[in-house]
Amino acid sequence: MLRLALTPRWITALLGCIALGVIFAMLAQWQASRSFIPSTPGSYSKIVYRSIDQVVQPNQPYIFQELEPKTRVLTEVVAKVKLNPEQAVLIGNRLQPDGTKGSWIVVPADTTTARLFIAVSFIPETEDAQDVLTETKQIATTKKFIKLFGRYLPSEAPLQQVQKDSFDSLSVAQLVNIVATKGTAYTGFLALTGQSQFSQLAGVEIPKIDLAKGDSGLNWLTTFYALEWTFFAVFALFIWWRLLADAFRKQQLEILGSQK
């Protein structure tokens, strides 16, 4: 059988099956590389800007999806508002992506339809937070509508109020009941992503929030394809061996027949 396998015809057939098996193996490896989805920090391919009235409505449950999972397009919200810095509050338990702990300054604002709470600045964990809050309350603002850009995020669970104008969570329902007692309100809040008059104060930064991490898991469809291509790669070599064995058996039968 070895002598038959070493003939030019069967060596050529073997090389063809090996080449085919290599192609199938490469396809199997490609599918396998796409099968496992690791847990990675959220990222986006580009940013699009949409008016707040296009994505949410006041007093409606939060159903906004800021990051489209397939295209990884991040939607930032644009709102035309009148700011009310005299009603600003301090929100503790905040954390910047670099690990810095501190507080947010949140300013109530009015759109043409409802009340919107806006996280305008971040204060690192210092004893100056109350002083910055006082300075914020004293900022003079225009009574005209101004355009602000930011990420529209869901309300948090309410926690006990620390002291006047100071909270440990950004609960829209809690702030509506304490800070804004009339009118409708958006159930989420806006975290500014750019500079504003509030971020110009000494010792403050722009609020920054990480995107949610992608879930890890296994893509069963691509896993099946990887196993399928692996089977084809092995089968290509098996076919060569099987055809060779049949040819060898036929050859032996012919030899036996000629000897009778």
Burial class (CB in 10 A: 0-12, 13-18, 19+), 163: exposed
Largest CA distance in the chain: 116
Give the phi and the psi of residue 72 in degrees, each rounded to 5.
60, 40
Distance of CA 20 to the CA centre of its chain: 39
Sign of torsion, CA 180 52 200 128? positive
Q: Output the pTM of the full model.
A: 0.66
* pLDDT tens per residue across all 260 residues of the chain: 667 777 887 778 888 888 888 888 888 888 787 676 554 456 778 899 999 999 999 999 898 888 887 788 889 999 999 999 999 999 998 989 888 999 999 999 999 999 999 999 999 977 788 889 999 999 877 778 999 999 999 999 998 887 888 999 999 999 998 876 667 999 999 999 988 888 888 888 999 988 765 555 566 777 878 888 888 888 888 888 888 788 878 777 776 666 65
Distance of CA 78 to the CA centre of its chain: 20
Angle, in degrees to the nearest 10, between helices 8-33 and 220-259: 170
Cβ pair 86, 74 in contact under 8 A: no
Structure token digits, residue 129: 């937070």
